[in-house]
Structure formats: C-alpha cells, structure tokens
Amino acid sequence: MPHWVDACAAEDIETEDLIRYDHPDGRTFAIYRSPEDEFHCTDGLCTHEFVHLADGLVQGCLIECPMHNGVFDYRTGKAKRAPAYEDLKTYQTKVENGRVLIEI
Amino acid sequence: MDYLRCPIPWCGEFVLDRRNYSLLGEEGRKAVEKGLAAADWYHTKVSRNEMKELMGRTDRYALRDTAIWIAALLLSAGAGIYLWPSWFSVPFWLAYGVLYGSSSDSRWHECGHGTAFKTPWMNDVVHQIACFMIMRNPTVWRWSHSRHHTDTIIVGRDPEIAVMRPPDAARILLNLFGIMDAIEAFRRMFIHVTGRLHPEEETYVPASEHHKVVFTARIWFAIYAATVATAVWMGSILPLMVIGLPRFYGAWHHIMTGVLQHAALADDVIDHRLNSRTFHLNPISRFIYWNMNYHVEHHMFPMVPYHALPRLHELIKHDLPSADGSVWSAYRTVLPVLLRQLRGDNVFLVRKLPDTARPYRAELHDAVGA
Ligand code: FES
C-alpha cells in the first residue's frame, strides 16, 4: 500500500536542484525543487545504467543524468534524450510544516 | 605468448598474441565476472555547489566557436575552390581538411554529450553535421560512446579503444590520413544501408534505435553518391575535395590528439587517473579539439562542458597526475612504452600522483605497475 514518508526538509533542496533520499527499505529516490518552487519525486536511479541522478544537473523541468547525459522530465518521468529511453517512475509529493513528504 | 619475426631484418620480434578486444569475445565476459563492467569509478571530491557551477550550460561559447568554425570552413573551402587547381590552393585545403576532418571529431563528441550548447536542438544540429564529416553514425556512436564512458578501456567492453595492446602501429599511421577509420566507416555504412547493424553494434545499440541508424546511413549514402556523380560529371575531384576527402587529408590532428587520450596507460582499471591523460595544448589546437586535452577531467565529470574544463582542471589538479606540458612531451613518454608493447613487453605507464592526491584505487587492479 502506498504511504506518505517524511523525506527531508523543504529547505534542504535548493531551487532548481535535487537531493537523494534513501529509504530504510533500501529504495532510493530523487527529490526535486523546480524553479517554480514545486516539489517532485522520481526513482533515484537512472533507467539506463542505474546511476544515482542526485549528482546530475537540473535545468527547468529536466534532470540530466551525470553518467551519459540522458535527460528526463522529472515531473512526468518521461525520458527525453538518449541513452535514456525508459521512463522514470514518479511519486506524489506534498509539503507539510516545512517537510517534504513523498508517497511511496 | 607467441612471437612473430618481422621480415624486415632490423625490426626483430613482434608480439603476435594480443588480447581479444572484441565485444563478442571471452574478455568481455571475464570483465563482467571480475566486476569491471559498469563499476563504481573513482571521483575526486568536488562540492555540489562548485560542480553545479561547472556543469552550468550556456549557448554563448559554443555559438561563438561554431560561428568561427563555419566561417573558417566556408572561407578556406571558398579560397581552395577559387584557386583550384593551382598549387596556391594547397594551404587552404590543408586548413579546410583539419576543420572538416579533425574539428568534427570534437564537435561530434561534445554535442553528442549534449553539453556544448544549452539549447538541445543546437547540440543536435551540430552533432548531425559533425557526425557526417567524421563519418560516425550519430546513433551508433552515441551508444558506443556511452559504453566507452561506462567501461573506459575495459578490454572486451569498451568499443572505442583506439590504441590496443600491443598497438597496431600501421593502423595508427594510416589513420593519420583517415584511411583505416574511413574504410571501416564506409563498410559499416554499407551494412546499415541494407537495414542491418554490425553484430558488435547490436550489443550496445538498443533495437528501438536501429531504424535511426539505417535512416541516417541511407541519407549519407545518397549524399556521397551525389558527390561522386558530380565529380564524374565535372571530370574533376573538386567536389570530393569539399565532401568526403577532407576526412582523409585533414584527419591527422584528431589522431595526434586522440591517441594521447588513453595510449600507454593502464587498461582494466576503474580510476580514470590511471587510464586517461591530460595534457596542455596551444590555443589553436584547443579550439580544434574543444579542450578534450583535459581528458581525465572529462571522464571523471562528463557533465562539465568543454568550455569549463580548464576551470575544472584547476579545481582538481591537486588530485591528478601532473598534466603533460605539450603534445610533444606527452609523446616523449608514450612512444617508448608503445615500442616496448610492440615488442611484447606487457608494460604501461603509471604516473606519480602529487602528495595532495588520494591514492589510486587499489581494488580490482592490484597488479598495476610500470
Ligand atoms: S546511466 Fe543515466 S544516461 Fe546512462
């Protein structure tokens, strides 16, 4: 059953950036703060060769993978540029009392 | 190991036994077993804020450099055509050749990474043009280059190992004139035109991308066919001097610089400081090569655009072997090692790290030694 998890403080993520969140069950996620100050969440590993996206570059609504520069739209998870061609899984987010919660 | 006596008396013995660099052979399977494939590579520590600043994208530098590049291509080709067939046209063809047959190597590479421009379509346009010039199918090479970054100089995994062990000296020398690479490029293009991929390419290009490979090859084939037909109709090689032949007569610069990227260094290691080389270059060559002389830095952080590599170099050089001062000084260390490899010695260079550096990664390559 999906449930809400407290992942980080909103202020932990700079605007137009992301951080990595490792859940105790072993899964890893990427949490983004968009230029419009919205929070988004995807799987933490690139679908191409499973590299952590947290070292990548956020530009607008896109995350570029640090390994081979594959690009995804982090709002929808859609793969936008080879060698990434499988979409990322996305998760709901909400902010409560300055904390970012993700539904996983 | 088997040795072959060269028919030229003073050459002595050459090694016959080479490792199997094919992606379809045993070495690739062994690399996977040893944990060398898709391994966790060494990275120099750089703060997130510094890295974000270095990774930042802009169109500014690539627009400027591309405008200069296109203007120089047009001017040199224009002067070459105007003065044709006089010998006075030769210097212009020499310049055009390097701009076409060598600058395209770095433009293909950087725009393939998508880092040269901030605007994606600009990367794509320059990538397509440069791929045509350097005769590298854009789809195949995007995927082969991804593998090169995942498994840099891992034997049996990396499809872009230019200097194998022992080195194929004849191939490198012929490639100064583009000969071996272009012949192979045409062979592959003919395979692609028929709707197929080479079996090695099938190991790294996903099936969903195959149609792009074939589509591009057919367009290129039509362009070359039209160029040859025009040359026959004109009774002159002039059209081929503009399209196609510069890949041969202008290739020397990208071979001169490209060989230095990894030659004579370690293979089967997971620390780019051991298998890649940074060397200094004059400003004209850096323009042609788009700063790929900062090759350790590029492999460690492929997100950093070419124009930010000198700044990255300054930031992390305390953790890297010192850069060779010039192409010449780099070759002074490379050539003796390649000659020994040619004679069967299994040697390679391990450069000294500065005292400020973290040690080389020891795991997976304990046997490292010069
Ligand atoms: S691992 Fe992300 S693009 Fe290759």
Q: pLDDT, tens digit, for every residue of A17-63?
A: 999 999 999 999 999 999 999 999 999 999 999 999 999 999 999 99
Q: Tell me which residues of chain B have a C-beta less than 8 Å from any C-beta of chain A.
A: 38, 51-52, 55-57, 113-115, 118, 120, 139, 142-143, 145-146, 149-150, 206, 208-209, 301-303
> B185 alpha carbon to ligand 1 midpoint, in Å?
26
Judged by CB atoms closer than 8 Å, whether chains meet at B114 and A83 is answered as no
Structure tokens at B57: 């994208």
Most A CBs within 10 Å, among B303, B304, B306, B312, to test the A interface = B303
Residue B317 included in any domain = yes
Give pLDDT, residue B94: 98
A contacts of B55 (beta carbons < 8 Å): 57
What average pLDDT does the segment B296-311 reach? 98
Instruction: Say what the pLDDT of residue B99 is.
Output: 98
Residue B368 has pLDDT above 70, yes or no: no
Specify whether the CB–CB gap between B249 and B264 falls below 8 A.
Answer: no
Of A64, A71, A85, the CB nearest to B208: A85
Amino acid letter, residue A5: V
CA distances from B77 to B59, B239, B290 (A): 26, 11, 22
| Cβ contact, residue pair B146, A56, below 8 Å | no
- 8 Å CB contact between B291 and B306: yes
A39, β-bridge pairs: A33
In single-letter form, the type of residue at position B79 comes to A
Q: Give the residues surrounding ligand 1 with Cβ less than 6 Å away.
A: A 46, 48-49, 51, 65, 67-68, 70, 83-84; B 146
Nearest-CB residue to A68 (from B52, B118, B149): B149
Hey, how many other C-beta atoms are within 10 angstroms of the C-beta on B276? Answer: 23
Mean model confidence pLDDT for chain B: 92
Are B240 and B228 spatial neighbours (Cβ–Cβ below 8 Å)?
yes
Q: Is residue B205 part of a domain?
A: yes
Q: Is residue B370 part of a domain?
A: no
Q: So what's the pLDDT on residue B363?
A: 58
Q: Do A82 and B302 touch (CB under 8 A)?
A: no
How many domains are contained in chain A?
1
pLDDT digits (tens, 9 = 90+) for B1-35: 334 444 444 444 444 456 889 888 889 999 999 98
What's the sign of the alpha-carbon dihedral B112, A67, B319, B359? negative
Q: pLDDT digits over B107-125, tens only?
A: 999 999 999 999 999 999 9
Residue range(s) defining the domain that contains residue B168: 3-365
Q: What is the pLDDT of residues B32-78, one digit of tens each?
A: 999 899 888 999 999 999 999 999 999 999 999 999 999 999 999 99
- Contact criterion met (CB < 8 Å) for B150 and A49: yes
Query: What percentage of chain B has pLDDT greater than the value 70?
Result: 93
User: For position B87, what pLDDT does the model report?
Assistant: 97
Residue A17 with chain B: CB contacts under 8 Å:
52
Is a pLDDT exceeding 80 seen at residue A93? Answer: yes
Q: For residue A80, what is the nearest residue in chain B, using CA coordinates? A: B120
Looking at ligand 1, which atom is closest to the CA of residue A51?
A: 1
In chain A, residues with a C-beta closer than 8 Å to the C-beta of B40 are none
Count the domains in chain B: 1
Helix, strand, coil percentages in chain A from 3-state DSSP, rounded to 5: 5, 45, 45
SS3 B352: coil
- Using a CB-CB cut-off of 8 Å, the residues of chain A touching B146 are 48, 68, 83
| pLDDT tens per residue, range B201-245 | 999 999 999 999 999 999 999 999 999 999 999 999 999 999 999
Provide the shortest C-alpha distance from residue B302 to chain A (in Å).
7
ipTM confidence:
0.91
- Check A68 against B51: CB less than 8 A apart: no
Contact call for A57 and B38, based on CB within 8 A: no
**Three-state DSSP class for residue A11:** helix
Encoding tokens for residue B230?
């025009």
DSSP string over B234-301: HTSSHHHHHTTTHHHHT-HHHHHHHGGGTTTS-SS-S-HHHH--BB---HHHHHHHTTTTBHHHHHH-
Contacts of B295 (CB under 8 A, 6+ apart): B260, B261, B262, B276, B277, B278
User: Exposed e or buried b for every residue in B93-128, given b needs 16+ CB within 10 A?
Assistant: bbbbbbbbbbbbbbbbbbbbbbbbbbebebbbebbe
CATH at residue A92: 2.102.10.10
Token duo for residue B279: 């060397």
pLDDT digits (tens, 9 = 90+) for B125-151: 999 999 999 999 999 999 999 999 999
CA distances, A71 to each of A87, B113, B140, B341 (Å): 10, 11, 18, 41
Q: Domain range holding A50?
A: 4-103
- The separation between CA B13 and the C-alpha centre of its own chain, rounded to angstroms, equals 30
